[in-house]
Chains A and B, each alone.
Chain A
Amino acid sequence: MHGRPRVTQTCDPARQKHEEEKAAKFQALLRQVLHNHRHRIFSKEALLQNAKLLELNPELYTAWNYRKVAVTHLLESQLDEAIRKSIVDNELEVVERALMRNYKSYGAWHHRKWVLHFGLSNLDKEYRLLDKLLTSDARNFHGWAYRRFLAGISKATEEQELQYTIKKINENFSNYSAWHSRSTLLSKQLQNNIIEKDTWLKVLTEEYDLVQQAFFTEPDDQSGWFYLLWLLSQTVFPSRPFVTGFWPPNGHSNLFDPNVPSMANCNILIFFSLPVCGVNSETVSMSSSSEGLNSEFKVSWISITDDSQFSKGWRAELTDCNKCLEAGMSLTLNVQVGAKPGITSRHGPLLGVHNLTVNIELGSSSCSAPEKHYSRITWPEECKQTSKFEDSPNDIFGCPSLPLQRHLEPLSEWQEKTLTNQINTCRELLELENDSKWAMLMLARLLVAYDQFASSSEHGMDEVQQLYKRLLEVDPTHQYYYNEQLSLIRFHQITVDLHESSEHFWRSDQTQNLWVRFNHLSLSKLGYFERLTGVQNLDLSKNKLQSLEGIEMLQFLVNLDVSNNHLTSITALRPVSHLPKLQALNIKWNEIGKHMIDKNRYLFPTVLNNSAKKHLKNNLNKEEGPVHWEVYEIFGRMLVLRQLDIHGNPISENEAFRSNLLLAVPSLVWLDAENVSTE
């Protein structure tokens, strides 16, 4: 089924006529079947017509539905076991013929499964048919899924199924369907506690050995490598989330001041390594040790991204703290993340339990009421005078520097040994095959994983960087990915001891704003945002960013400069729309509007989801001309945005866009140095 060239169809009048006749016949049959469906005619003839139709086109789900209705009807009125069985067998035959036409028809496979649920069919026959199918097309995932389904209802032992996968893998180890089925079966065994922990480790070790045979035989075949990835995920559990950071840091104070708008709420933030759900007052307990306030706090946790279920960052707003506190007083909160099980990512539950204490102080700021007049800020790049800021980084991060805690359980001896083994195996392969991209990529990932998980980090990131640079030469097709990985490493190196070095801290002399500047660094991907949590002013200009994914973690951002990057659409600003305090955004000299195709659009489930619709409804009647839905979708959420610099993007020339923008962001005062405030 693989590697067959496409035959170009030539236009032949005789053939075309033939096709037309066929289509007409098909249409007639279709009308008849739909008529039968509508009038609930379940005669033998009607069923035959339906079967004929499905043989011609197995994709007609309506026709399958008709059959389901008909079969249910026939079975209801029939008590004779033999006749019931013949009805069901007939269905299986119809499906078989349909599958002959297209053995990847979802409708047909669904129908087959549905029919089997009556329990009237001979499963041996099913297995025989399936064997035939998987012999002629060994990588048909429908076949494999159906096999697992059969194993489920026939109570076939996992051992038998595992044997079958190994048989198929031995026939052709490029068959990822077989490898995948194997991983599914093994996971299932572990989940159902069929395998004990010790045996499981032995099984995994054997699997490592098996998959090694594949990539030493053919290092370019990806099936084995993907299976290795799965094995690694079973070894070091990176699919299980862990806590990457807190705000405020453990043992430190959170100052709030109801009089200052930016400090009006008292926030506690938790960051996880993977998007998790189940963060609530049950799973994250909070208690106060202060006298008189010994009761547990009830707070609501809110996702800081627009996925309200799964999120990497969660925020608790302690809105009524000011009722409990008087100026100058402080309250100590004991927070326990994972107090009860329930926090879980899509792949597994949270690792470990984390405790922290937080002091909450009521600020005694003498600041007046929120400023009504917003004066345009100057971006660091535009400042005539900026100077290095050498003082305490506390002023920038809002908290003292802290050594980064490892929130991880240390690796077990077996895990460490396995990781080291795999690192050595990849190195062995690389010695034999200098240009094997898979070996390089896997080695780079293993080294990063080792660095991340192991207690002692022996492997420098230098080697990883060398590997990715080599990959850029060997495999330019995936250069974006490799560049992103290099960028991540670079960003890691910059931020790992950010508190110690003042290289990236600047003070703008005009506004006295303190900036963290990562400009001119060729960054294409960002990460490690938990290290930057308290930052208010961030300069990322003159990089190669195509995406701002993850920046929503910087909940305290007020001013953000991403000018001179490679952002290609308004939708790429989606993470920015989750920054609640953002006042000024600089996206000058990007590529917004330059490309016809918006690559981020798929992130939006429907173009006009409810919130966008709401905006549109409010504004459409006022405005004529083309509607830029993404403007409402993205900028509509930036409720305190005062300043937007967008000059230098193709879209900024667009009048309709500008007027959409002004409607979507009523708070806007400055648009490209032009005062647009309505007041």
Chain B
Amino acid sequence: MANLIEPSSFDLIVVGTGLPQCIVAAAAASNGHSVLHLDACDFYGSHWSSLPLQDFSDWCHSAGQLPFPSPIQITTPSNVSGTGASEVSNQNVSPSFERDTAAGEMVFQNGALPNNGSMPSSREFGDSFPENSTNGTTHSFAETSLYGSATTANASLQNGFLSPEPVTHTEEIVLNTNNLSLHDSTMEELGLQSEVVEERSSMYQDFHIMQDSIEDLGPSRRYCLDLAGPKLAYCGGSLVDLLLRSGANNYLEFKSLEASFMWSNGVLLPVPSSRADVFKDRTLINAEKRHLMRFFKLVVEHDSSNPDAPQISPEELESPFVKFLHERQVPLSVQSMILYAIALSNHKQGTVEEGGSHIMKTKEGLELLALYLSSVGRFVNSTGAFLYPLYGQGELPQAFSRSAAVKGALYALKMPIQSFLKDKVTGDFKGIKVSTTEQLIFSQKLVVGPTMLQTVCKAFNSDVLSVEGRNAAQESGEEKEAPKVVRGICITDKSLRADLCTLMVVFPPHCVTVQENGVIRALQLGSSVSVCPEGKFLVQLSMVCSNESVGIEALQRATQFLFNSRDSSSTADAEKPTLLWAAFYAHNEIYEGGADVLILCKVFGYNIQFL
């Protein structure tokens, strides 16, 4: 068999090329572990990918099924991967990848992330992580990778920890936790039992496509439509730090979001975020400007460890952020901008008495605001606080895959798996069986995406998982019903603002629908980030909601606020863009038995920021 994977044993098997899986793969590979990264699809990114218009349309029509091609190909994600990459049996490159390779070579001529200067340089991946191994965390790689799925792994990422204990150490942990040594068992199937993989595919539902024909929208390949948009990265956020530390920043390019606006009674109010914005803003009166600037200063300078710095009392830090804003005389109009367009709260912020849930605490709000303010101007050539990757969010998993491949990880696309191998005696994970070649590949650790989580939970000892899950459930308090997110993607003929290309519009709660408490965000992208042909604009929308159909209706109403519809040319407002094509769908976050875990799952959740 020409397509067999060599060798047949790895330290770690990663299934699915979503962003979290790719980050884990990159981290593991850079720490000298042997990694096999598989994806059933012929493109990278799984549910994180960006598809051409035709593919996206097909995806919508198939109600969110990722297309699995039949022939098996093994490929490495980059031709630069020669150094440590394992043998590649088939050099076929998938079509969607061709374009990306070209994109990957345009390394930061114009992007926002410099390789030098004030940023930590992206040195060898191998020594960019080691501080993690010494920080005495309670997590271990074995736990996270075997049981936790990519989502848990990412949760630990956010705690500043990423798996990299030296190999020997790892084995100790494996011995401790699993009470089994791989080398003691023989590689024969006798001791193993197989668990058939049932991949859950109905993550999406309620598809509404507003215009079937995509023929007059220009070449399909010029579009990159994000499956899980809209998402943005804070310039000063953890994703950017991770990119720089891993060296993945060499494989993609960013543009900063040019402006943010708040929807207010039919008008788009600019969100002031820097002193230049406050200076320019003419809707604020003198005193409001002063209060706002003073508040920004407090956010940046407050420091409990320094008695000379402005202080915020612990009681205040625990109080609702909205109350704090009010007490600090932040202008009313700016309060909601800070809550929904800067701190990016997804839910209505009010007092508990007003029936608000998901109340943001002052501490949390201040941290987000400080992150935002430090993001503005972090990079010389980026004016705003947010970044969006050129060619869509699908570039992110690819960038991490590439840095994993450079460090020796083996990549195989179009490689669905049939079953997991399980130790009959202990019930531990032993490896996988590839469905097409029926090849057995051994490993003691596994990382999977959310769609396979259910199988993994069922098949293997889920103690660790439940512990993680319960904690998270407790933290989130009384939350019974897991949130759902509705998404929309529109193609328009011109920008919402003639002088801008990329921008975000935030609809504060209740201004579109009173049935839901969620915030609607609309992210306009254009040809400047190469996600659509020139003269066309993409607008991605999302809202957290409890009822999908109400949510989708709200998104549709929001698009009516923003755009003229194609057929109602008589009532059209000449200023507004015309909506050419749109699709709306509900993105289901709920997994039976695993809902609590996914609360940890910030990456694939409803938040607008990537990490």
Query: Do B279 and A170 have beta carbons less than 8 Å apart?
Result: yes
User: Hey, which chain A residues are within 8 Å of B287, CB to CB?
Assistant: 216, 428, 432
CA–CA, A425 to B282, complex, Å? 16
Name B280's contact: one of A170, A212, A218 (CB within 8 Å): A170
Name B276's contact: one of A170, A216, A425, A428 (CB within 8 Å): A170
Query: Do A216 and B280 have beta carbons less than 8 Å apart?
Result: no
CA–CA, A170 to B286, complex, Å? 17
Instruction: Looking at the assembled complex, report how far the CB atom of B376 sits from the nearest CB atom of chain A, in whole angstroms.
Output: 13
Query: Do A218 and B293 have beta carbons less than 8 Å apart?
Result: yes
Instruction: Looking at the assembled complex, report how far the CB atom of A417 sits from the nearest CB atom of chain B, in whole angstroms.
Output: 18
- Which of under 10, 10 to 19, 20 to 34, or 35 or more describes the interface residues of B? 10 to 19
User: Hey, which chain A residues are within 8 Å of B275, CB to CB?
Assistant: 173, 217-218
CA–CA, A428 to B286, complex, Å? 9
Residue B302 CB within 8 A of the other chain: no
CA–CA, A217 to B275, complex, Å? 7
Residue A65 CB within 8 A of the other chain: no
8 extra interface residue pairs, beta carbon distance < 8 Å, beyond A173-B279, A217-B278: A170-B280, A213-B281, A213-B282, A213-B289, A217-B279, A217-B290, A218-B275, A429-B286
B279, B280, B282: residue with the most chain A Cβ atoms closer than 10 Å: B279
CA–CA, A13 to B475, complex, Å? 63
Instruction: Looking at the assembled complex, report how far the CB atom of B167 sits from the nearest CB atom of chain A, in whole angstroms.
Output: 43
Type the 1/0 row for B276-309, where 1 means its CB is closer than 8 Å to any CB of A.
Answer: 1011111000110111010000000000000000
CA–CA, A269 to B280, complex, Å? 52
* Closest Cβ neighbor of A436 among chain B residues: B290
User: Hey, which chain B residues are within 8 Å of A432, CB to CB?
Assistant: 287, 290-291
Those of A263-322 within 8 Å (CB) of chain B: none
CA–CA, A219 to B297, complex, Å? 13
Instruction: Looking at the assembled complex, report how far the CB atom of B356 sits from the nearest CB atom of chain A, in whole angstroms.
Output: 31
Residue A214 CB within 8 A of the other chain: yes
> Top 5 nearest A-B pairs by Cβ distance?
A216-B286, A216-B289, A432-B290, A217-B279, A217-B278
CA–CA, A172 to B383, complex, Å? 12
Residue A326 CB within 8 A of the other chain: no
A-B contact pairs, 23 of them (CB 8 A): A170-B276, A170-B280, A173-B275, A173-B279, A212-B286, A213-B279, A213-B280, A213-B289, A214-B279, A216-B287, A217-B275, A217-B278, A217-B279, A217-B289, A217-B293, A218-B293, A219-B290, A425-B286, A429-B286, A432-B287, A432-B290, A432-B291, A433-B290
CA–CA, A219 to B289, complex, Å? 11
Type the 1/0 row for A406-430, where 1 means its CB is closer than 8 Å to any CB of B.
Answer: 0000000000000000000100110
Instruction: Looking at the assembled complex, report how far the CB atom of B293 sits from the nearest CB atom of chain A, in whole angstroms.
Output: 6
Residue A458 CB within 8 A of the other chain: no
CA–CA, A217 to B278, complex, Å? 6
CA–CA, A643 to B71, complex, Å? 115
Query: Do B286 and A171 have beta carbons less than 8 Å apart?
Result: no
User: Hey, which chain B residues are within 8 Å of A219, CB to CB?
Assistant: 290
Instruction: Looking at the assembled complex, report how far the CB atom of A164 sits from the nearest CB atom of chain B, in whole angstroms.
Output: 16
CA–CA, A566 to B276, complex, Å? 46
| A contact residues, total (Cβ < 8 Å) | 16
User: Hey, which chain A residues are within 8 Å of B279, CB to CB?
Assistant: 170, 173, 213-214, 217
Known: A217-B275, A218-B275. A429 touches B280 (CB 8 A): no
Those of A135-171 within 8 Å (CB) of chain B: 170-171
Those of B238-278 within 8 Å (CB) of chain A: 275-276, 278
User: Hey, which chain A residues are within 8 Å of B293, CB to CB?
Assistant: 217-218
Instruction: Looking at the assembled complex, report how far the CB atom of A163 sits from the nearest CB atom of chain B, in whole angstroms.
Output: 13
User: Hey, which chain A residues are within 8 Å of B282, CB to CB?
Assistant: 213
User: Hey, which chain B residues are within 8 Å of A213, CB to CB?
Assistant: 279-282, 289
User: Hey, which chain B residues are within 8 Å of A218, CB to CB?
Assistant: 275, 293
Query: Do B276 and A172 have beta carbons less than 8 Å apart?
Result: yes
Instruction: Looking at the assembled complex, report how far the CB atom of B224 sits from the nearest CB atom of chain A, in whole angstroms.
Output: 30
User: Hey, which chain B residues are within 8 Å of A429, CB to CB?
Assistant: 286, 290
Instruction: Looking at the assembled complex, report how far the CB atom of A672 sits from the nearest CB atom of chain B, in whole angstroms.
Output: 55
User: Hey, which chain B residues are within 8 Å of A170, CB to CB?
Assistant: 276, 279-280
User: Hey, which chain B residues are within 8 Å of A214, CB to CB?
Assistant: 279
CA–CA, A214 to B280, complex, Å? 9
CA–CA, A218 to B291, complex, Å? 11
CA–CA, A357 to B275, complex, Å? 60
CA–CA, A214 to B290, complex, Å? 10
User: Hey, which chain A residues are within 8 Å of B276, CB to CB?
Assistant: 170-173
* Closest Cβ neighbor of B383 among chain A residues: A171
User: Hey, which chain B residues are within 8 Å of A173, CB to CB?
Assistant: 275-276, 279
Those of A189-214 within 8 Å (CB) of chain B: 212-214
Instruction: Looking at the assembled complex, report how far the CB atom of A508 sits from the nearest CB atom of chain B, in whole angstroms.
Output: 58
User: Hey, which chain B residues are within 8 Å of A425, CB to CB?
Assistant: 286
User: Hey, which chain A residues are within 8 Å of B286, CB to CB?
Assistant: 212, 216, 425, 428-429
User: Hey, which chain B residues are within 8 Å of A172, CB to CB?
Assistant: 276
Instruction: Looking at the assembled complex, report how far the CB atom of B297 sits from the nearest CB atom of chain A, in whole angstroms.
Output: 9
Instruction: Looking at the assembled complex, report how far the CB atom of B291 sits from the nearest CB atom of chain A, in whole angstroms.
Output: 8
CA–CA, A505 to B280, complex, Å? 58
User: Hey, which chain B residues are within 8 Å of A433, CB to CB?
Assistant: 290
CA–CA, A432 to B293, complex, Å? 12
CA–CA, A447 to B291, complex, Å? 26
User: Hey, which chain A residues are within 8 Å of B289, CB to CB?
Assistant: 213, 216-217
Those of A413-462 within 8 Å (CB) of chain B: 425, 428-429, 432-433
CA–CA, A170 to B280, complex, Å? 6
* Closest Cβ neighbor of A171 among chain B residues: B276
CA–CA, A432 to B291, complex, Å? 8
Instruction: Looking at the assembled complex, report how far the CB atom of B205 sits from the nearest CB atom of chain A, in whole angstroms.
Output: 46
CA–CA, A216 to B280, complex, Å? 11
CA–CA, A218 to B276, complex, Å? 10
CA–CA, A433 to B286, complex, Å? 12
CA–CA, A171 to B281, complex, Å? 12
CA–CA, A460 to B606, complex, Å? 62
CA–CA, A172 to B276, complex, Å? 6
CA–CA, A546 to B279, complex, Å? 42
CA–CA, A273 to B282, complex, Å? 40
A214, A216, A429, A432: residue with the most chain B Cβ atoms closer than 10 Å: A216
* Closest Cβ neighbor of A166 among chain B residues: B280
CA–CA, A173 to B293, complex, Å? 14
Instruction: Looking at the assembled complex, report how far the CB atom of B25 sits from the nearest CB atom of chain A, in whole angstroms.
Output: 40
* Closest Cβ neighbor of B297 among chain A residues: A218
User: Hey, which chain A residues are within 8 Å of B290, CB to CB?
Assistant: 216-217, 219, 429, 432-433
Instruction: Looking at the assembled complex, report how far the CB atom of B379 sits from the nearest CB atom of chain A, in whole angstroms.
Output: 15
CA–CA, A433 to B291, complex, Å? 10
CA–CA, A569 to B282, complex, Å? 54
CA–CA, A214 to B287, complex, Å? 12
User: Hey, which chain B residues are within 8 Å of A212, CB to CB?
Assistant: 286
User: Hey, which chain A residues are within 8 Å of B281, CB to CB?
Assistant: 213
Instruction: Looking at the assembled complex, report how far the CB atom of B274 sits from the nearest CB atom of chain A, in whole angstroms.
Output: 10
CA–CA, A213 to B275, complex, Å? 10
Type the 1/0 row for A582-621, where 1 means its CB is closer than 8 Å to any CB of B.
Answer: 0000000000000000000000000000000000000000
Instruction: Looking at the assembled complex, report how far the CB atom of A173 sits from the nearest CB atom of chain B, in whole angstroms.
Output: 5
Instruction: Looking at the assembled complex, report how far the CB atom of B528 sits from the nearest CB atom of chain A, in whole angstroms.
Output: 18
Type the 1/0 row for B474-486, where 1 means its CB is closer than 8 Å to any CB of A.
Answer: 0000000000000
Instruction: Looking at the assembled complex, report how far the CB atom of B497 sits from the nearest CB atom of chain A, in whole angstroms.
Output: 15
CA–CA, A432 to B289, complex, Å? 11
CA–CA, A218 to B279, complex, Å? 9
User: Hey, which chain B residues are within 8 Å of A428, CB to CB?
Assistant: 286-287
CA–CA, A460 to B281, complex, Å? 36
Instruction: Looking at the assembled complex, report how far the CB atom of B606 sits from the nearest CB atom of chain A, in whole angstroms.
Output: 35
Instruction: Looking at the assembled complex, report how far the CB atom of B269 sits from the nearest CB atom of chain A, in whole angstroms.
Output: 16
* Closest Cβ neighbor of B289 among chain A residues: A216
CA–CA, A199 to B286, complex, Å? 25
Instruction: Looking at the assembled complex, report how far the CB atom of A168 sits from the nearest CB atom of chain B, in whole angstroms.
Output: 11
Instruction: Looking at the assembled complex, report how far the CB atom of A136 sits from the nearest CB atom of chain B, in whole angstroms.
Output: 9
Those of A330-388 within 8 Å (CB) of chain B: none
User: Hey, which chain B residues are within 8 Å of A216, CB to CB?
Assistant: 286-287, 289-290
CA–CA, A213 to B276, complex, Å? 10
Instruction: Looking at the assembled complex, report how far the CB atom of A394 sits from the nearest CB atom of chain B, in whole angstroms.
Output: 53
Type the 1/0 row for B78-99, where 1 means its CB is closer than 8 Å to any CB of A.
Answer: 0000000000000000000000
CA–CA, A433 to B293, complex, Å? 12
